[in-house]
A and B are shown apart, each in its own frame.
Chain A
Amino acid sequence: MSRSLAVVPHLVRIYIRTRMEYRGAMLLAWFAQALSYAATYTAIALLLLRFGNLGGWAWSEMALLLSFHLLAYSLGASLSFTQFRDIEEKVRMGTFDAVLIKPVSPWIYLVFSGLNIGYAGHIILAVGLMAWAVTQVAVDWSALTALYFLLSLVSAAMVTAAIMTMIGATALVWVRSKHLFSIFFGFWELARYPLNIFPVPLQILMLTVAPLGFLAFVPVAVTLGKPVPLLGDWALFASLAAGPLAVTLGALHWRHCIRNYQGAGG
């Protein structure tokens, strides 16, 4: 394990160097992605300008929800999305076998040899919007509130990385799993709105099988002191436990898939 971790800085350095070779394209991508999210948020802001609130959430509260959603997703996805989206291609071409014979953990190798710095644009936008939103919402910030906010952010990022790992790992058994990302992003889009506006079956799904309710809504609602459907007073504890629980399930699924990997390439 220590040998696997020792190689992480080298893997990250090499990957960043390769990305920096195409600096112009990288900066353009950061800008384009941030612009796209900003345009969507502007559309939501215009909707709230006309209707006043969405399920009892005003624009400043929505801004906190949107920024938390984007930041938690970016932190988790930078460790997982492209790496596990492309795993099916590695399985299909047989190049995943080369990952397995490296003297480091396959998960650590995959994650850090492709640590996606392309999310910088997302992170800059999210931090900027969050910095504005925290000054606008009616929250009595204390050290404890701030600590909860940070820990729940880490937990939410863990949920993202764990789900992406599970989807990617499925390709080791099914060969194809990219289509499961369509389902993930369907729920991911919902996760940027207050959970209380959705029908109860969808709320249950978002807190259990597709736990993206923990990506932003539950932690932000707890911070703002808003009621959390189905969870009630358990929401604070659940939002902190969701990340470690998802990571545990993700690790078990990853190990199961690695054990059952038979290869599909020639």
Chain B
Amino acid sequence: MRAAAYPAFALTAFQSRLVYRNQVWASAFGDLVSIFARIAIWTAAFAGATQVDGITLPEMVTYSVLAWPLLYWDFSRVLYDVGGAVQTGDVAVFLLKPIHYPSYLLSTHFGHFAFECVTIVVPVALIVGFTVGLLPPASLFHGLMFFAYWAVSWLTLFALACLCGLLAFWLLTAFSLEWFLMAIMSLFSGAVVPLWFLPAPLAALFGYLPFAWVSYYPSAVYLGKLDPAATWLHLGIGLVWLGLLSAATLALWAKARTRLVVQGG
């Protein structure tokens, strides 16, 4: 199938979400409540201090908005799509079509992400920006590099979700896999607590694992916590991780489709 067909999958996914408007309002409200809660938690943690470990409260407010709803998007849909397709046997339909299933998933879920970004994340960020205040990027360089890190972050989380989802070919359930990935991400990605507040040995260890490229490094770059040399170096390491995860996903897909047995007619 021509590569031009894949953007159409993304567009279809985007448009399909327009049907469920109540879900948008509910999700936006839920996210808004959670963001204000996170801001309250950091305000309470700082307890009036101007800065802690060189980090100010406005920086943590900005970090909260970037690290969680923007960068740590809801990956469970990827797992349930793959898990559901394996359980129902629908995955066989994708094998019959002239499409590459992981690429189809990539384009579809990019459509879902774009929808959530436009309808939920951006309005929530604007409300937080006008009420509490958000910081601009530390510099033009850091602002531009943030977009490169954002791309690496999105693709890394997608590859991790896809890898876990494909394991459903062996386990026949995606439910546990989602919870395993949530456990890993909540501790290692920096979405809940940034690495700069962790004990040094843990921060050093987590800083080399690919999960930190999902939330921590993009947010740290935006806030200017990495100098230009470190920014380029960590982008390179992130790309290596992304390459490894993508290769693992493709290898797992190649293995999974050869062991597929669909029961029923």
Chain A contacts to B: CB under 8 angstroms: 25, 28-29, 31-33, 35-36, 38-40, 42-44, 46-47, 49-51, 54-55, 176, 178-180, 182-183, 185-187, 189-190, 193-194, 197-199, 202
10 contacting pairs across A/B (C-beta < 8 A): A25-B176, A28-B171, A39-B183, A51-B197, A176-B22, A179-B27, A182-B26, A186-B32, A197-B40, A202-B40
Asked whether B184 lies within 8 Å of A39 as measured between CB atoms, the reply is: yes
Q: Cβ of B93: which chain A residues have Cβ within 8 Å of it?
A: none
Q: Cβ of B182: which chain A residues have Cβ within 8 Å of it?
A: 36, 39
> CA A25 – CA B167 in complex, angstroms?
13
Residue in B closest to A36 when the chains form the complex, CB atoms: B183
Q: From DSSP, what is the main secondary structure of chain A's interface residues?
A: helix
Asked whether B179 lies within 8 Å of A36 as measured between CB atoms, the reply is: yes
| Given contacts A28-B176, A176-B22, A182-B27, A50 and B43 within 8 Å (CB-CB) | no
Asked whether B172 lies within 8 Å of A25 as measured between CB atoms, the reply is: yes
> CA A35 – CA B172 in complex, angstroms?
20
Judged by a CB distance under 8 angstroms, whether B34 is at the interface is yes
Chain B contacts to A: CB under 8 angstroms: 20, 22-23, 25-27, 29-34, 36-37, 40-41, 43-47, 52-53, 171-173, 175-180, 182-184, 186-187, 192-193, 197-199, 202
Q: Cβ of B180: which chain A residues have Cβ within 8 Å of it?
A: 32, 35-36
Q: Cβ of A51: which chain B residues have Cβ within 8 Å of it?
A: 45-47, 52, 197
Residue in B closest to A22 when the chains form the complex, CB atoms: B173
Q: Cβ of A178: which chain B residues have Cβ within 8 Å of it?
A: 23
Q: Cβ of A193: which chain B residues have Cβ within 8 Å of it?
A: 37, 40-41
Asked whether A202 lies within 8 Å of B36 as measured between CB atoms, the reply is: yes
Residue in B closest to A192 when the chains form the complex, CB atoms: B37
Asked whether B40 lies within 8 Å of A199 as measured between CB atoms, the reply is: yes
Q: Cβ of B25: which chain A residues have Cβ within 8 Å of it?
A: 179
Q: Cβ of B192: which chain A residues have Cβ within 8 Å of it?
A: 40, 43-44, 47
Asked whether A25 lies within 8 Å of B179 as measured between CB atoms, the reply is: no
Which of A42, A176, A198 contacts B37 (CB under 8 A)? A198
Asked whether A183 lies within 8 Å of B187 as measured between CB atoms, the reply is: no
Listed residue (A25, A39, A180) with the most chain B CB atoms within 10 angstroms of its CB: A39
Which of B34, B176, B193 contacts A43 (CB under 8 A)? B193
The 3 lowest CB-CB distance pairs between A and B, nearest first, are A186-B30, A32-B179, A197-B44
Q: Cβ of B172: which chain A residues have Cβ within 8 Å of it?
A: 25
